[in-house]
Amino acid sequence: MNYTEHLVDVGDVKINVAEFENNGPPIIFIHGITSVWQRWSAILDYFTPEFHCLAIDLRGHGKSGHVHGKYHRDQYASDVLKLARDYIGKPVYLVGSSLGATTAVTATSLMPDDVIAAVYSDPPLFNHLRPGDHAGDRFNSRVEALKKAKTVDDLVPMARPQVQSEEAAIERATGWLQMDPNLLEMTANGSAVVGWDVEGQLSTATSRALLMQADPSAGGVLDDDEAEKAMGLLPNARLKKWPGVGHTIHDEQPEDFSSSVKEFFSEE
C-alpha cells in the first residue's frame, strides 16, 4: 500500500493521518480505544482502488498528540469534523470501530451535510448507562502497566493473550507504549462521557448509516436491546448483525466486512 503519514493540526492537538492515493471519494477510518490506524491494514486494500482513504490515530493514540484531560467523546469527534472540513474540504464517508464508531456517530451529528454515509461497527453506545458498569475494572490495571512501561518489551506479555502471533503482540504493545495513559484514566473514571448526549446525537445523525452489531456472546459490546434502541433513534439506518463474530468485526471477517461496507456505500 502506498501512503504518506503526516500530522494535521485540528486545533488543540495534531492528528496523525495515514493518507492513501486519491482514487475517489474520501473515507476516514477511525480505530477503537488503545488502538492505532494500522489496525485497519487488513481491509484497506479493499478500498484504496476506489476511494481516497485516510486512516487516523485518534488524539492520545499512536503518533497523534497528547492533550491531558481532553479525551471526552465529543473532543474525538471534533477532531474528525475539523479534519473533514478544514483538511479534506469535501463530504466524506466515515467508518469507525468501537470508540471510533461512537466518534463517527458524534461527528455525523455535528456535520450531517458533510457525511455521505457512515458505518458504526459495534459501538459502545450505552455501556456507561448500564447498572454497575465496570469500565474502571477493565482499564485501571492497564493504566498502571502503561505508566510503568519503558519499552515495548515491557508490554508484550500483556498483549500476547489478545492476539494470534508474536508479531501482532509487538505491534499491539508498540501502540500501547505510544498512548497517553490519561485517556484510559478518563474512560475508567467516567469523565470521558460526562455530559455526552448519546441519544441526542444518534437522533441528529441524519446521514445514511449502517450499524453493525457483533455477537455479545463472542465479545460484542452492543446487546440486542441497545441495538434496537439505537435503531429507534437513528433517523436513516439499517442494522447488520454478525452472529459468532467478536467485537472487532473487521479483524475477524475482513473480506465480509469490506464487502458489506462497499455494498452499503454503493447504494446511494
Mean pLDDT for 51-71 is: 98
Residue 168 has pLDDT above 80, yes or no: yes
| DSSP class of 161 | G
What per-residue confidence (pLDDT) applies to 134? 56
Tell me the average pLDDT of the chain: 94
Mean pLDDT for 186-203 is: 95
* Integer angstrom CA distances of residue 154 from 29, 39, 66, 146, 176: 29, 21, 21, 9, 10
Question: What count of other Cβ atoms lies within 10 Å of the Cβ of residue 52?
Answer: 20
Predicted TM-score (pTM) above 0.75: yes
**Where do the H-state alpha helices sit in 61-196?**
73-82, 99-110, 135-148, 152-159, 166-178, 181-189
- Cα dihedral 143, 145, 147, 152 sign: negative
The phi, psi pair for 219, rounded to 5°, reads 110, 5
- Nearest partner of 122 among 142, 99, 106, judged by Cα: 99
CATH of 3-130+196-265, one of 2.60.120.20, 3.40.50.720, 3.40.50.1820, 3.40.50.460: 3.40.50.1820
